[in-house]
Structure 1
Amino acid sequence: MAVLALAATACKKNGIDKGFSPRGTFAGPYVDTVVLPLTITADRFLSNDTLYVLDGKTYVTNNATLIFEEGTHVEAVKKSTNDSASALIVTRGAQIFAAGTPSDPIVFTSHQATPAAGDWGGIVLLGNAPLNRADATIEGINLPSVPAGVDVNYGGGGAGLGDANHSSGQLEYVIIEYAGAAIATDNELNGLTLGGVGAGTILNHIEVAYGNDDAFEFFGGTVNASYLFALAPDDDAFDFDFGYSGHIQYALSVLDAGENYSANPNGIESDNNATGAADEPRTRAIISNMTVIGVETSSQAATLGLLNGAQFRRHSSYEVRNSIFMGFPTGLQLASSGSQADIANFNHNLVHGFSAVINPSTLTLPGSNGQYVSSNANTDVLLADPFNGDFRPLSASPALSLTTDYVGLPSEFETPAYRGAFGPYVANDATANNWLAGWAKLNY
C-alpha cells in the first residue's frame, strides 16, 4: 500500500531499558518504560516521553479518567493464549481522553518484533447509552479472568433505557494497529469496540489497521463519529448491532489485496440483533460521505472470498447517503424483509459490484444512486488512485458530477458537494481535500 502521509514521532529522550524495548512506527527512545496495571482506579495521566506497555488486560474502573498526552505510544504484548490477550477496557462510568494531533497522533500497536493482525485485543469503551436488549457483557473477554469487582457490562439498565448523551471520553487522532484477538469463533475483540457508548463521547480521526476482526464495532449506543479509517480489517470495517443509532460522516474502508480475509467480509455489516427480531430501538446508523473500497478486479475478489460493500440484515434499518461502495462482488446486500423495507433510505450513492449492484435481484435501488457493474472497480467511479492510497475523485468522476442530498439529515452533518469521503483530486498536492494527510498511516 503506498504512502499518503506519516505521523510524526513523539518526543525523543534518552531511553531506559526495563525489559521492554519499543517497537513500532513512532517508537522512542523514551525516558521510561511503564507497564500499565491490571486496574486503573484513580485518574491518571500518560505522557509522551514514556513508553507504556499493555501486558494483559488493563481495566479503567471506579469512574476514573485516563488521559493521554498527544503523541503517546502504547505497545501491547502478545500473550500465549487469546483469552488472555492484552487490551485496554474503559468500563461504564470511567472515561478516556486520548486527543492526539495531526503531527502527534496517539498510537496503540503490537509489541511484537514482527507484528501481525490479532497480536492483541484492542480498545473497548463501555457506556450506559440505550440498547435494544438487556444490559450485555461485551464480547471478546474471558469472564473468569476479569478481576473481582470489575463490571464489563454495557447499556443503560434495560432495553431502551439509559443516558443517550453519556460520555465515555474522547478519541481524536488515534491509530490502533494489529488488534482483534479472538477467544473463539464469533467471540473476538475488535480494533475499537463501542458498547452502549453515548453521544457525549467524541470520536474523530481514528485509524484501525490490520485487525483480526472488525475495525469498528458499535453495540448499541448513540455515539457519533467522523473521519474514521479502516485499513485491511479481516472481517467487517463497520459493524452495527443491538440498536446503534448514531451518525457517521467522512469514513473510509480499504482492503489490501495481499491479505487473507474471514469467511464473511463486508464493508458494512448491520444487524438489529442476532435473531432478527424487530426490537426497539432498531439499529439505524445514519451515514453520509463514506467510501468503502474492496479490491481492484473481480478475480482478486473471488480469490479472497469477498462479499458485500454493505450488508443490512436481521431487521436492521439504515440511512445511507452521498457515499461510495466499490470493489466487492455485490454492492449492497439486503438480507431480510425488515431491512429491504427501508431501501428508499439508501440514496444518492455510487454503488459498484463485480457481479451485482444489489441482492436480492428482485430489488431495485432508488434512481438517485449511480449503479455500475464491471470487472474493474474503478472504471466508472473514477477515483484518483484508490488502490495506491489516493481516494479523491477525479474531475470526471460521478462523485463530483452527480447531485448530493442532505435534506432531513441531523444538523451535525456538513453538506459537501461530493459523494464519498473526500473532495476532488488536486494535481501535485497530496494534502488537498485529504483528511488522512499528516497523521494516518498506509504503508505497512
Structure 2
Amino acid sequence: MRKLTLIAVTVLSVTACRENDSLTDSSKFEMQSASAEYLTASALPVTAVSGAVTTNTTWSGVVEIDGIVTVKDGATLTIQPGTFIKAKPNATNTPTGVLVIAKTGKINAAGTASQPIVFTSYKLLDGDEDTTATPGDFGGVIMLGDAPTNKPTTTVIEGLTGTDYQYGGTNAGHNAGILKYARIEFGGFDLFAPNSGNEINGLTLGGVGNGTLLDHIQVSYGKDDSFEFFGGTVNASNLVSFAPDDDNFDFDFGYSGTITCALALADYNSTHSQSGGVSDTNGIELDNDGTGSSASPFTHPTVKNLTIVGAASPLKGGLYENAIHVRRNGKLTLDNAAVTGYPVGVLLETVSSAPVNLADLSFTSVQAHGFTFAAASKIGAATAALTIPGVTTSTTNPANVWGMSQPFFNETAAWNVAPRNCGDFQGTWTKYNFSIVQ
C-alpha cells in the first residue's frame, strides 16, 4: 500500500515546478529491475536536465540528469518529496547522473518518511521488468563547501575536474542546505577507468560545514563507497549504507563532524572491491590523508550509536576486510557500537611501523566481533591481537549477534537489527528488496 501511495502523490506533482527555464535548459551482480513504485513511476513524464543551475529551481515528478548538473552562483535547488531522479545513459567512463552542489550553491531536498526523494538507476524506471539495475547506473550526489580540510582550497573533489568542483576553506559553519529522507541507489562513477582510484561515491561530501542538515539517508548498491567525507565539519544522523562495492563510511582529509545513529549492512550478492585479489571493503575506513601525514586538522570523526553487520559465517566473511579500519594517522571517537561478521572487527594500522597510540582513540561501549581478530594492530606487515580500552571482543563462529534479533541480511530468517534500530532502519522510507512485486 505504501508504494502505491507514494506514486499517487508523485503523480500530482509530475510537471516540474520552477521559477525559471534553467530546469529544461540545463558482472557479478544482477537483480530483477523493478517493484511497484518504480514500475508506476516509469509511466510518468520525464523532465530532462543538464548543465548548470544558476537561479532558484524546483524539481518534482521524474527527473533525468544528462551528464553533470552543478548548482552554483547562489542558486538553491529544491527537490519535492516523492521525486525520482535518474541518469541519462551515456558513454562508458563519461560522468552522467551526477548532481553537484558547489560551494556557492545550496540544496533543499526534504523528503518525508512516506515520500522519500529517490536517486536511482534508470533501469528501474524504464518500465521493462527484464532489465537489471547495476552499480554505476546513477552517477552520485556530491556536496561541496568551504569548511576546513587539511588540503589546499584549490583541491578538486575526487571523480571530477574543473574549478567548479574545488572544496575547503575556513568556514566551519558552511551551509549546503538540507538532504533528508533520501535514497541514493546504484550510484558510482570512475573518472578514468575501473579501479582508477578517482571515483564518485553514492554521497560525497567535500568541505561541507555544520550548518548543513543530513538526516535519514540510505545509500544502496554503490559502485564505490556509500558515504565519503573529505574534510569538513558536517554532522549527519540516521544513515544507512547497504551493500556497497567498497567501504560503507570513508573519512579523509581532516573530517571532524559527528555521525549519530548509523547502520552498515552487507549483502553477499553485491559486488566486492579487491586489492591484489584480496577484499578491501570495510565498514569504516579512516585516514588523515593518503600518506599518513600530520597535516592539520586531523581526520577525527565522532560516531555515536553505530551498527556494522557483515556475514554470519567465515566463508562469506571473506568477502569483506575490516569492520573498522583506522590508519594513516587517523583518529576516532566511537561511542556505543556493535560490529560483527568481518574477518577483523577493529584494526589499527600505524604509519612507518610506529607503535600503536591509543591516545588517538576514544572507545566507549564498543562490542567488536571478528572471525580472525576482534581487535588488532597492524605494524608494518605484522597483524596481532590488541586490547583496546572500552571494547568487548568476540571471535565466535557463527558471528556474534550482540543481542540483535537476526542482523544478517542474507540468512533464512528475516533480518532485524533490533534493538539497535535507532534510525527507523526498516521504515517505509528505506528499501532493501528490489525484486518485482506481482
TM-score for the superposition, normalised by structure 2? 0.83
Could you list the runs of 5+ residues in structure 2 that have no partner in the other structure?
Answer: 16-23, 25-32, 124-130, 275-279, 378-383, 410-414
Number of residue pairs matched? Answer: 384
Instruction: Give 1:385's match in structure 2, choosing from 380, 398, 406.
Output: 406
- Is 1:376 equivalent to 2:398 in the alignment? yes
- Once the 2 structures are TM-superposed, how far is the Cα of residue 5 of structure 1 from its aligned partner? 9.6
Q: 1:307 matched to which residue of 2? A: 321
- Once the 2 structures are TM-superposed, how far is the Cα of residue 29 of structure 1 from its aligned partner? 5.9
Q: 2:358 matched to which residue of 1? A: 341
Distance 1:204 1:270 in 2: 21
1:308-328 Cα offsets, whole Å, 9 max, x none, are 000010000110110111110
Q: Equivalences for 1:35-434 in 2 at 5 Å?
A: 35-47=48-60, 50-112=61-123, 113-135=131-153, 136-141=155-160, 143=161, 151-156=164-169, 162-183=170-191, 184=193, 185-263=196-274, 264-302=280-318, 304=319, 306-336=320-350, 337=354, 340-342=357-359, 344-360=361-377, 361=384, 363-366=386-389, 368-378=390-400, 381-388=402-409, 389-393=415-419, 421-422=420-421, 434=424
Comparing 384-393 and 260-269, the one that deviates more: 384-393
SS in 2 for 1:66: strand
Alignment CA distance shift 1:133-1:30 (3 Å): same
Distance 1:102 1:15 in 2: 20
1:154-173 Cα offsets, whole Å, 9 max, x none, are 001xxxxx100010010000
Q: 1:418 matched to which residue of 2? A: none
Distance 2:236 2:355 in 1: 26
- Once the 2 structures are TM-superposed, how far is the Cα of residue 339 of structure 1 from its aligned partner? 6.5
Alignment CA distance shift 1:102-1:241 (3 Å): same
TM-score for the superposition, normalised by structure 1? 0.81
Could you list the runs of 5+ residues in structure 1 that have no partner in the other structure?
Answer: 157-161, 394-420, 424-432
- Once the 2 structures are TM-superposed, how far is the Cα of residue 359 of structure 1 from its aligned partner? 1.7
- Once the 2 structures are TM-superposed, how far is the Cα of residue 329 of structure 1 from its aligned partner? 0.2
Give the AA of the match of 1:332.
V
Give the AA of the match of 2:317.
A
Q: 2:126 matched to which residue of 1? A: none
User: Do 2:88 and 2:122's aligned partners in 1 also have CA atoms closer than 8 Å?
Assistant: yes
Alignment CA distance shift 1:436-1:171 (3 Å): farther
- Once the 2 structures are TM-superposed, how far is the Cα of residue 121 of structure 1 from its aligned partner? 1.6
Distance 2:386 2:3 in 1: 41
Q: 1:8 matched to which residue of 2? A: 6
- Once the 2 structures are TM-superposed, how far is the Cα of residue 222 of structure 1 from its aligned partner? 0.1
Give the AA of the match of 2:159.
G
Distance 1:92 1:343 in 2: 31
SS in 2 for 1:81: coil
RMSD: 2.4
